[in-house]
A and B are shown apart, each in its own frame.
Chain A
Amino acid sequence: MLRKLFVVALVGSFLVACGPSQQAKDDFNVEEESKKDDELVDEAISLPMDQVVMLLNSVPPPLELAVLMKDVGGEYSSDPLNPTGNADAYSTSYKKAINLGVYGADLGYANIYSQTQDAIDYLTTVQGLADDLGVGQFFDFETIKELAQSADNLNELLNLTTKNYEKMNDYLKEKGRVNQSVLMMAGGWIEGLHVACYVAENHDSQELLERIGEQKITLAQIMPLLEMFQKDKDISQLHADMKKLEKVFDKVKIEIEEGEPVTIMEDGLEITEIPTTQVVKITPELLKEIKETNEMIRAKFVK
């Protein structure tokens, strides 16, 4: 009898700790629909999950490139961005996920330049797509909207937006929907590159040109992630297209000559750096080729 009581207690406490909440059950329904829609399954994963997560986390968000565009004096233009009106036509979770990444990049770009109205429009679109994918609960729409009203809140705004995207990603990974995390990341990277190429064509900056060339390093992190989901026909097609872009990026040559690490003090902060000469060989013709190949890929999912 005592042993039975012990077992009941053990099982009971385990259930309390691990049992799904109503929210989790609701989430599960969304996930099931999502999986059916995309025919995406975990079996597609051939790398251990920790390596998948490591690769996903190694890709910088498009925000870094957007900051550089502004720093080099590139002017804001909404011309290269994905019009918010396109979102209504995205009916599959593939398109919703990849364009959630695209619109996230556009939102970051508008935020960096304090383009309040554009930022709010993109924010609304992001919220809609996130809701459709069952991850809208991680997007603090009201606070972000409030912060977007003033340029004084830029850092807070960017921090919160980045954190919200991170939470969506964490949730997707946790729920075995890594494929959607990969798509969000890929969409954001493609859009970041698209906008950077547009700015580089309209604003002469060697630094931006070279940073675009350096994207071949990030692309090398993205390709194995796409390769893992080859069983899905949409991702398989995207992977094949990205292979073409990878070939173009192969023409970019990067030479590095490094010294020994040194530590300097700057504004009271101890900073380590390695004196380095890095040469990125990229011509305006090669930039055009990168831009056109990337546009061909992007056009397939933004329209």
Chain B
Amino acid sequence: MKKVKMLCTLAALMFGIGLAANAQCSDDDVLDGCSNELKAGFRYLKTYDVDGDGEFSYVFSRGNTYLIQTCEEASLNKNVKITVMDRTKHKIAANYDRAGTISNSFLAYRCNSTSIYYVKFEIVGDDPECGVGILGFK
């Protein structure tokens, strides 16, 4: 009887997990919350999933300043290292120092030569359940 109870509990738990997988935290809410945090004057361009280490590329245009920021749930996330690399994948800007200490949840880069650039996210600590990276420009 104990075994049956245990299995019923297990089954309920698994159904629960199943439902939770369907109703994971809403990306829309995270995105909206994060884009609302964009600093004054910056216009929203793109969103990137930050649910693990990742890299994306983008053609930055000369004369524009780009802002890359990361959020977990609806607030800024200071547990993500952001690195900007040039077309040769040489590091040119970061939100952390040589010791790896993260200074901000964002990084601003002013582009003086139009080219393809790479942005790398590295999560420090636990992966956020609903992490996003936002790219804005002005």
Contact = CB atoms under 8 A, between A and B. Distances in A.
A61 interface: yes
Interface in A198-219: 207, 210-211, 214, 217-218
A289 interface: no
Nearest to B12: A9
* Interface size range on B against A: 35 or more
Interface in B59-105: 59, 61-65, 84, 92-93, 104
Interface residues of A, number: 51
A61 B137 CA distance: 12
B14 A256 contact: no
B18 A13 contact: yes
A272 B14 contact: no
B10 A6 contact: yes
A12 to B, nearest CB: 6
Q: Is the interface of A mostly helix, strand, loop or mixed?
A: helix
A57 B18 contact: no
Given A5-B7, A278-B62, A270 B110 contact: no
Nearest to A9: B11
Given A13-B14, A273-B110, A274-B112, A162 B44 contact: yes
Interface in B9-39: 10-11, 14-19, 21-22, 31, 35, 39
A92 interface: no
B35 A163 contact: yes
Contacts of A162: 43-46
A273 B7 contact: no
A205 to B, nearest CB: 12
B130 interface: no
A58 B56 CA distance: 7
A78 B121 CA distance: 41
Contacts, number: 136
A55 B118 CA distance: 11
A68 interface: yes
A272 B22 contact: no
Contact of A14 (B10, B18, B61): B18
Given A159-B35, A163-B31, A9 B116 contact: no
B62 A214 contact: yes
A140 B4 CA distance: 50
Contact of B7 (A9, A218, A276): A9
A43 interface: no
Nearest to B16: A13
B18 to A, nearest CB: 4
Interface in A260-284: 261, 269-276, 278
B108 interface: yes
B6 to A, nearest CB: 9
Contact of B115 (A57, A61, A217, A261): A217
A3 to B, nearest CB: 9
A67 interface: yes
Nearest to B103: A270
Given A162-B46, A273-B111, 6 more contacts: A17-B22, A57-B48, A63-B43, A217-B115, A254-B114, A256-B115
19 contacts: A5-B11, A6-B10, A16-B15, A17-B21, A18-B21, A54-B55, A57-B58, A60-B45, A60-B61, A64-B137, A67-B43, A211-B114, A221-B57, A269-B39, A271-B65, A272-B84, A272-B109, A278-B112, A278-B114
Interface of A: 2, 5-6, 8-10, 12-18, 54-55, 57-61, 63-64, 67-68, 155, 158-159, 162-163, 166, 207, 210-211, 214, 217-218, 220-221, 254, 256, 258, 261, 269-276, 278
The 8 closest A-B pairs by CB, nearest first: A9-B11, A13-B18, A276-B112, A16-B18, A272-B93, A273-B110, A13-B14, A17-B21
